Amino acid sequence: MDRVIASYLPTSLYSLMSNQFSQEDLNDLEEIRLRVGHPAQLIFTQRHSFVDGFTFQATDAETLLARISDFSIYRLEEELKNGYITVRGGHRIGISGQVTVEGSKVQAITHVSSFNIRLASEHRGAARQLLPYLVDRHVHNTLLIGPPKSGKTTVLRDAIRLISDGTDQINPSRVSLIDERSEIAASFQGIPQHDVGQMTDVMSDCPKADGMMMMVRSMSPEVLAVDEIGRHEDVDSLMEAVYTGVQLLCSVHGFSLADIEKRPQLRPLIEQAVFDRYIILSHSPKPGSISAVYNRNREPITTALRGQAYEMDRSPSHSVNVHMGRT
């Protein structure tokens, strides 16, 4: 487990965790959930488990928050407003508790009672299997669709890295990433903590709509990557960006293409056929699996699940790209 996170956790919890779980288990850890008055919950890729003999107390919550902020809560004003804190190493800590409101706007979360420590995982090669659908001479305008925890962010991050660094088949491109929630590059004081490629410029914590225009004007990107589109303004500036000759790479929450078609804010994007590829991700059998790929006219290109263990590769093309997890 990551040393940064280990240093934040209460010592008693950390020693109990090391006793009760093996090192391999802890490497598989996705989330640590702490709620005041309840035992700590560990969420692994396939299962979840409680830590016996540890109850998270209100004082622990206070200490944890103090440690996260380096004993300087005053630095977290913006974060307490947004409900999450990005820490060194790109991990994301979601918080909830009592909210103070001023003028119908959330001022801050006080009395934080729940923490969700999401351990950032950088799966290199997560997007390799979908690269053939993404790139063919140039990068297609692509929309990644997936439910929460389906690995959208991980796949998007790896796709950005591959496009920006280039591979044997594709030439590197300049990528501009607007990382509104600091999830993709997980910038800490402006510097990406995850590898997003050598030709990637990151604008972190920036509203997508503004960020996209800023990037197009100032950084002359070839590919523009954004996470979790959905608001009206996002779609407007996406529409604008797409006609500036920039290729788009976006992700959005949803189970299927039908879900997306139904969302009123996203309708203009679908109707004007902005995207050349729709890639549906699912969390089974493992996060980041492709369940379907559609083309510009929303016709399926493939619905075969790829990249599974023991899968037989019968396709004539891209056999080099299909990465089966063997090295």
Partner 1 sequence: MKWIGALLILLTCTWVGLDIANYYRKRPRQLRDLLQALQIMEAEIVYAKQPIHLIFQYISTQLPYPVGFIFQTLADRCDEPQQSLDALWTEVICHQWHFTAMKEKERNIMVQFGQSLGRHNVEQQQKQIQLARVHLQHELEDALEEDKRFSNMYRILGVLSGLLFVLILI
Using the Cα atoms of residue 59, residue 65, residue 71 and residue 74 in order, give the sign of their dihedral. Answer: negative
* 75 near partner 1 (CB under 8 A): yes
Name the minimum Å distance from CB 102 to partner 1.
12
Q: What is the largest CA-CA distance in the chain?
A: 61
Using CB under 8 A, pick the residue from 22, 23, 46, 72 that binds partner 1: 72
Name the minimum Å distance from CB 67 to partner 1.
9
Site string for partner 1, 112-151 (x = CB under 8 A): ----------------------------------------
Q: Which is nearer to partner 1, 32 or 80 (CB)?
A: 80
* 189 near partner 1 (CB under 8 A): no
Q: Kindly identify the residues of this chain, within the stretch 12-71, that bind partner 1 according to CB under 8 A.
A: 62-63, 66, 69-71
Name the minimum Å distance from CB 77 to partner 1.
6
* 261 near partner 1 (CB under 8 A): no
Cross-strand bridge partners of residue 95:
115
Q: Which is nearer to partner 1, 153 or 193 (CB)?
A: 193
Using the Cα atoms of residue 44, residue 49, residue 55 and residue 57 in order, give the sign of their dihedral. Answer: positive
* 191 near partner 1 (CB under 8 A): no
User: Site size for partner 1, by CB under 8 A?
Assistant: 16
Other beta carbons within 10 Å of 309: 9
Measured CA distances, 30 to 1, 81, 91, 92, 251 (Å): 10, 24, 10, 11, 20
Residues that bind partner 1 (CB under 8 A): 7, 10-11, 62-63, 66, 69-75, 77, 80, 108
